Structure 1
Amino acid sequence: MYIREEPNRLGELRRMQRIATGFLVVAALLFVAALRFEAAYPWLGFVRAAAEGAMVGGLADWFAVTALFRRPLGLPIPHTAIIQTRKDAIGASIGSFVRDNFLTTEVLTGRLSAINVAHRLGAWLEHPEAAERVARLGASGAAGALRIVNDADVQALIERSLITRIENTPVAPLLGRGLSAVLIGQRRRDLLYAIVQLAAQLITENGPAIRKRIAEGSPWWMPRSVDRSIYNRLVDTVAATLNELSQDPDHPLHAQFDAVVERFIERLQSDPELIAKGEEYKAELTGHPIVRELVASLWRDLKSYLLEQSERDDSALRATILRGIERRARGRQHRQQRAARATTGGEPGWANPP
């Protein structure tokens, strides 16, 4: 809506005041002239009466309008300057009227039900052009919000939330429950096999050092061939164990390893010493600068990814928003079809047989 500038409005107001004052002066002059010559010309009585009514009406209108905003002629006349002296009461009265007659629960519920915003919005979003437009606007809005937010504030919020969540979660029992859920069945056997395989690899890679330690621990008079035999026996034993574990699912080492794992999981969830040690490690972790660096890096990467996605027409972000809108639209169509079938007793568009 066009709004006039303040100087133009003041000029127009003064022009209307001059016009009204001019009409009042004309009415007064007509009244005086008619009163002066009424004895000679009796028909001027009608003119005098009309002019008198115009003067009375003009003065009454002037007084009524002036009395709303200020004291007429500066005189302390009762019930004048109404808006100036009672603006708070008038505002409260208008607010109460609007609240009681337009903003009640019944009125708003009825109006919103009649409008049925959800139905209209759903029908509009069923059009592919509308869905694509909303997806595009949603991605652009997300990009705008990301550019506005303060990175330091977001990082601090994420850091506080993460640290609070970590501090409120006992580490050792959580680790125990996690191991109990992960290390089940074949996974325990795979873990045992990986441990033995790692031991074999370490023995092979560190063969010279192991042979040297064996030689250092042997008596001086023991032949070197015996040391080599001990090392070879160690390597052969580990290799044989690996072969047996892979071939025999009922190998005793499996049961022994299962018992060790079960005891460790139980201790993680019930041993006060392990629980306290886990809390110590957790406190060291949450206070380490690497946590802040990790949060900052995660936020930078996420923000950069979202900004990049929001600017591309074929981005995964827009596609995800569009799929969500289309899924909602299909769900709405299915609900309408079910409602139609429930109403007609059959498929939509088919009448029931008599």
Structure 2
Amino acid sequence: MKYSIGTPPFETYGIADTGSDITWTQCKPCTSCFDQSLPLFDPKDSSSYALVSCDSDTCSSSQSFGCGTDDECQYEVTYGDQSSTVGDLAIDTLTLGNTSFKSVLFGCGHENSGTFSSDTSGIVGLGGDGATSIIYQLDKKIGGKFAYCLSPDANSTSHISFGPDAVVRGTGAVSTPLIKKAEQATFYWLNLERLSVGGKSLTVKSPSVSISGRRAGGIKQASVEGNIIIDSGTTLTYLPSDLYTSFESAVKDAISATPVSDSSGLFPLCYSSDSLEVPTIIAHFTGADVELSPKGTFVEVEEGLVCLTLIPNTNLGADLAIFGNLSETDYIVAYDLVAKTVTFKPSDCSKF
């Protein structure tokens, strides 16, 4: 996602992530950073940049924040794949499109590592934590509304919008309740009632009373309402193991071709890419049936090999499930934190 930070605006790109809160970018001086093809942000070049002090309310507003050695507030975040970022907590002007927002809290990362590509400078936090997420920081201007349309075509541009432009209505639009849990404020939860494969229905059992968060902290909750996290920052969709077993079986039954092995070992179900007939797969959320795009359901992971992008949650724990970004492709996905809904509308996102 393209955005600018500082005065004058310094343009950069970050991963738009509904599964994390703090927005951060790699900053000079970079003590230990991942390779970045974009220029690094230098806070000395911004006249509106200011560090957050240790004794401020902001510094005590999150477990990710703490006092550094120079009486300046530091942040530290570790993600579920063990990628991490450490740096100074600061405020500066954030520019989205033609609109600028003053005094936005963000992280100036000096030690960053993990699975970040060179095309990004960090993360744009679109999560639900009111202390740090830009969705809440910009709330007076955007009213808790944002939407994105993710294209499965690597050669086309996906789109994101905020405020009134993110309201989605019309033919094909379906809405489901957006569920927030106080113990896991970051995440946006949906309620997945069942999956269907080529007309065969698979019921989703209620989650167990103890499930742990995807990101650092291992927070647990005991509510059965809301059983899957919608997360633009996770690529694949993760299903509870028992549901995945019956789901995979149904997909195999619906495809006449013979499965082949994935050399990486990541994907349990793969086929030769020659004219694969992908069955109709529908995620039935409460009040919203979402037919998954075949382009996002099976993707080519190496030449001649396509694999199912819904996999078991083997390393996530218990019944935790995540609805990842490949399953969201070719839909306008609109979040309304005031109405507490997520709306899906089919769209060719490559021509949005």
* Larger helix share, 1 or 2: 1
TM-score tier, shorter chain, comes to under 0.3
Normalising by structure 2, we get a TM-score of 0.15
Normalising by structure 1, we get a TM-score of 0.15
